[in-house]
Structure 1
């Protein structure tokens, strides 16, 4: 049985008109649930239902370049860099007058959550990060190669550095993204209907531009948005996260599999727990909604 969808709303926040789904009581403790690439708000349907039933106010936004979220000006750079994701989250919280919330996300959404938790800890009552546990990048160090066993999993990122890769994504958004779903979550038996509900979000006119910029910028290949230079300078220092945090890693994650050594732990300076989920791939909230919701509830 599918969960009851929440109300789709939109609000002007920073450079965007952000579309978001809201579930739960308006006066409940706030939780912001952030999706990754290439996913959308549907990843959180079951999670949001569980949290709403537990009295939480859930805000689930479409990230820049996805679904009905739109830029407010044609002049704004279509940046997918990490600082943009963090700035969008902070702007959304300001627009909704949310002083503090549990921030929870995976992949790109986990990056936004980690950034706000690190740079504006007063706005985060807790952090749930999935995929890359400490999801902040030192762009200036991106030229350093990883071991070959890790590098090959990032083929799509290098592919996007080429015009061939950009055309591949633009020409077959659904085919490309569905292939990534299968690679990254090899034990998740999603069906056509599940994929198509999300794939509509890739029709956003800025989707390809945002994705390509994201992966080219993270390796220092192209400039970022000058308006975000201040945030990027702070992120280059790899700031610690000083709010209570739970890290969730899918044991079957095909792009960011959990490592034996928890190297990310050194960046977490408050209560910290790492949970590895058997039989779960990259899309943790959609594959293991009970585990994801439990982690959020454990933080407040």
Structure 2
């Protein structure tokens, strides 16, 4: 594991492959960590890519540099962290790939800093930039039921539940979101270490409250949030991977996200995979990067 100071954080990250290889930065979501990309990194590094997989804010050994920094989990923070990491590592352009929160960070950088992105692989929600202005409008009942955890974290009971029962809760989420993934206890336990980060609970709770407009964001990120509120298009080559068995974001028959992509775009449904394609179907994720390259 390596570490670098980037923006508000000391970001810890895994790196593999040749230093002079084409860089690909891959980002995990909640409740996962960098280990989700181990098998993908093995495949891509063998093909000459420089693979960088950071632990997001609130996960693993990544830490804030100042106790005064707001422990924000808002989408602008994730995007700002990613561009700060690229700057810190002197990476001018890279392929970006991610799922869940990590897919959101990748989409934000692809939309706002397209000159820094060689190609994008986004999992689940292909266009993964939140429309916070409309987030308070009720969704269809079947969607509301899938989003129970968001509502839970908007209550103090949810904060307490995450603090006291984080492993039980996160393991349950894995099972619901990836019902066809037969992960074993050792696989979960190795990732669950990352949930012991001292800022994990605050970051998660802030993320799910901010996206519903229930708590203010970090004022330092206001300009990015204002830009994201306009739902900017993504103008870099992109492949979207959607797990056919995704329990929280199941693929729809129509692709409503396609309109937000103005360059090469392709949606691929990954059979026998759920919410975590890089760990459940590493060949499909690695192939998407290779196809963009």
User: Which of these residues, 66, 80, 83, is aligned with residue 87 of structure 1?
Assistant: 80
Confirm whether residue 152 of structure 1 aligns to residue 145 of structure 2.
Answer: yes
For structure 1, the residue ranges without an aligned partner over 5 or more in a row are 1-7
User: Which of these residues, 96, 103, 110, is aligned with residue 96 of structure 2?
Assistant: 103
Confirm whether residue 251 of structure 1 aligns to residue 253 of structure 2.
Answer: no
2:55 corresponds in structure 1 to: 62
2:179 corresponds in structure 1 to: 186
1:196 corresponds in structure 2 to: 189
CA deviation after TM superposition for structure 1 residue 12, in Å? 0.1
Instruction: Name the SS of the counterpart of 1:172 in structure 2.
Output: helix
Which deviates the most, 144-153 or 217-226?
144-153
Off by >2 Å, runs of 4+ in structure 1 = none
Instruction: Name the SS of the counterpart of 1:169 in structure 2.
Output: helix
CA deviation after TM superposition for structure 1 residue 197, in Å? 0.6
Task: Measure the CA separation in 1 of the matches of 2:265 and 2:182.
Answer: 31
CA deviation after TM superposition for structure 1 residue 231, in Å? 0.1
Task: Measure the CA separation in 2 of the matches of 1:178 and 1:149.
Answer: 22
What does residue range 18-57 of structure 1 map to in structure 2 within 5 Å?
Answer: 18-57=11-50
Task: Measure the CA separation in 2 of the matches of 1:140 and 1:221.
Answer: 11
1:9 corresponds in structure 2 to: 2
Confirm whether residue 136 of structure 1 aligns to residue 132 of structure 2.
Answer: no
Task: Measure the CA separation in 2 of the matches of 1:213 and 1:292.
Answer: 29
User: Which of these residues, 262, 273, 285, is aligned with residue 266 of structure 2?
Assistant: 273
2:223 corresponds in structure 1 to: 230
CA deviation after TM superposition for structure 1 residue 284, in Å? 0.6
CA deviation after TM superposition for structure 1 residue 150, in Å? 1.0
User: Which of these residues, 96, 109, 115, is aligned with residue 108 of structure 2?
Assistant: 115
* Deviation per residue, 1:7-54 (Å, 9 max, x gap): x10000000000000000000000000000000011000000000000
2:201 corresponds in structure 1 to: 208
CA deviation after TM superposition for structure 1 residue 215, in Å? 0.1
CA deviation after TM superposition for structure 1 residue 188, in Å? 0.3
* Deviation per residue, 1:221-267 (Å, 9 max, x gap): 11000000000000000000000000000000000000011000000
CA deviation after TM superposition for structure 1 residue 139, in Å? 1.2
2:234 corresponds in structure 1 to: 241
CA deviation after TM superposition for structure 1 residue 146, in Å? 1.2
CA deviation after TM superposition for structure 1 residue 149, in Å? 1.1
Task: Measure the CA separation in 2 of the matches of 1:95 and 1:299.
Answer: 25
* Deviation per residue, 1:193-213 (Å, 9 max, x gap): 100110000000000000000
CA deviation after TM superposition for structure 1 residue 151, in Å? 1.1
2:168 corresponds in structure 1 to: 175
Confirm whether residue 283 of structure 1 aligns to residue 276 of structure 2.
Answer: yes
Instruction: Name the SS of the counterpart of 1:252 in structure 2.
Output: coil
Task: Measure the CA separation in 1 of the matches of 2:231 and 2:10.
Answer: 29
CA deviation after TM superposition for structure 1 residue 282, in Å? 0.4
Count matched residues: 293
Task: Measure the CA separation in 2 of the matches of 1:162 and 1:138.
Answer: 21
For structure 2, the residue ranges without an aligned partner over 5 or more in a row are none
Instruction: Name the SS of the counterpart of 2:147 in structure 1.
Output: helix
